[in-house]
Amino acid sequence: MPEFFSWSILLLPLCSAAVIQLLLREMAGIAVRMSVGSAATTFVIALVMLGSEDRTLAVQWATAGSFHIEIGLIIDDLSRGMMIVVTGVGLLVHLFSLAYMKEDEARARYFAGLSIFMFSMTGIVLASNFIMMFIFWELVGFSSYLLIGHWFQKNSAAEAAKKAFLVNRIGDFGFMIGILMLWGILGTFAFREMSESTTVIAQNSSTLTGIAVLLVFCGALGKSAQVPLHVWLPDAMEGPTPVSALIHAATMVAAGVYMLFRLQLSAGIEIFEGFAGTTIAWIGGITSLLAALMATQQDDIKRVLAYSTLSQLGYMVMAVGLAGEHSAEAGMFHLYTHAWFKALLFLGSGAVIYACHHEQNIWKMGGLFQRMRKTTVTFAVGTAALMAIYPLSGFWSKEQILEAAHHDQPVLFWLAIIVATLTPFYMTRLFIVAFLGKGRGHGAQAAKEVPPLMLYPLFALSCMAVIAGFTPVAETLSPAFHHPSHSFSLANPVFLISLAALLVGIGSGILVYRGRDADPLEGNTIFKIFRNKFYFDEVYLVLVRVFQNAVAIVVHFLDDFIIGNLLVGGLVRTASGVGNLFRKLQSGNLQGYAFLFGAGIILIIYLTVFAR
User: Which position among 590, 607, 611, 612 is part of the footprint of other proteins (CB under 8 A)?
Assistant: 590
Phi and psi for 148 in degrees, rounded to 5? -60, -40
Cβ distance to other proteins smaller for residue 64 or 609: 609
Contact mark string toward other proteins, 540..579, x via CB under 8 A? ----------------------------------------
Size of the site for other proteins (CB under 8 A): 20
Asked whether position 604 contacts other proteins by CB under 8 A, the answer is no
User: Which position among 64, 588, 611, 612 is part of the footprint of other proteins (CB under 8 A)?
Assistant: 588
Phi and psi for 382 in degrees, rounded to 5? -60, -45
Cβ distance to other proteins smaller for residue 543 or 605: 605
* Amino acid code (one letter) for 493: P
Minimum CB distance to other proteins, residue 569 (Å): 24
Minimum CB distance to other proteins, residue 608 (Å): 11
User: Which position among 411, 526, 552, 602 is part of the footprint of other proteins (CB under 8 A)?
Assistant: 602
Cβ distance to other proteins smaller for residue 4 or 582: 582
Which residues, other chains included, contact 337 with Cβ-Cβ below 8 Å and sequence gap of 6+? 385, 393, 394, 396, 397, 465, 468, 469, 478
CA neighbor of 250 nearest in space, from 87, 116, 392, 40: 87
One-letter-per-residue 3-state SS of 210-269? HHHHHHHHHHHHHHCCCCCCCCHHHHHHHCCHHHHHHHHHHCHHHHHHHHHHHHHHHHCH
User: Which position among 487, 490, 591, 612 is part of the footprint of other proteins (CB under 8 A)?
Assistant: 591
Cβ distance to other proteins smaller for residue 446 or 594: 594
Which residues, other chains included, contact 187 with Cβ-Cβ below 8 Å and sequence gap of 6+? 197, 200
- Cα distance between residue 353 and residue 505, in whole Å: 26
Tell me the Cα Rg of the chain. 28
Choose the stretch contacting other proteins; rule: CB under 8 A; options: 31-39, 347-355, 379-387, 597-605: 597-605
Cβ distance to other proteins smaller for residue 448 or 583: 583
Choose the stretch contacting other proteins; rule: CB under 8 A; options: 115-123, 139-147, 489-497, 590-598: 590-598
User: Which position among 373, 448, 528, 583 is part of the footprint of other proteins (CB under 8 A)?
Assistant: 583
Asked whether position 599 contacts other proteins by CB under 8 A, the answer is yes
Instruction: DSSP letter for 105, please.
Output: T
Cβ distance to other proteins smaller for residue 203 or 589: 589
User: Which position among 472, 609, 611, 612 is part of the footprint of other proteins (CB under 8 A)?
Assistant: 609
Cβ distance to other proteins smaller for residue 491 or 609: 609
CB 457 within 8 A of CB 96: yes
Phi and psi for 127 in degrees, rounded to 5? -55, 135
- Cα distance between residue 413 and residue 285, in whole Å: 9
Cβ distance to other proteins smaller for residue 526 or 607: 607
Cβ distance to other proteins smaller for residue 411 or 578: 578
CB 116 within 8 A of CB 468: no
User: Which position among 64, 586, 611, 612 is part of the footprint of other proteins (CB under 8 A)?
Assistant: 586
User: Which position among 491, 518, 585, 611 is part of the footprint of other proteins (CB under 8 A)?
Assistant: 585
CB 164 within 8 A of CB 225: no
Minimum CB distance to other proteins, residue 595 (Å): 5
Asked whether position 595 contacts other proteins by CB under 8 A, the answer is yes
Choose the stretch contacting other proteins; rule: CB under 8 A; options: 149-157, 330-338, 544-552, 596-604: 596-604
User: Which position among 589, 607, 611, 612 is part of the footprint of other proteins (CB under 8 A)?
Assistant: 589
Which residues, other chains included, contact 444 with Cβ-Cβ below 8 Å and sequence gap of 6+? 356, 359, 364, 365, 366, 367, 368, 371
Asked whether position 581 contacts other proteins by CB under 8 A, the answer is no
Peptide bond into 484 cis (omega under 30): no
- Cα distance between residue 225 and residue 564, in whole Å: 40
Instruction: Give contact residues for other proteins (rule: CB under 8 A).
Output: 582-591, 594-595, 598-599, 601-602, 605-606, 609-610
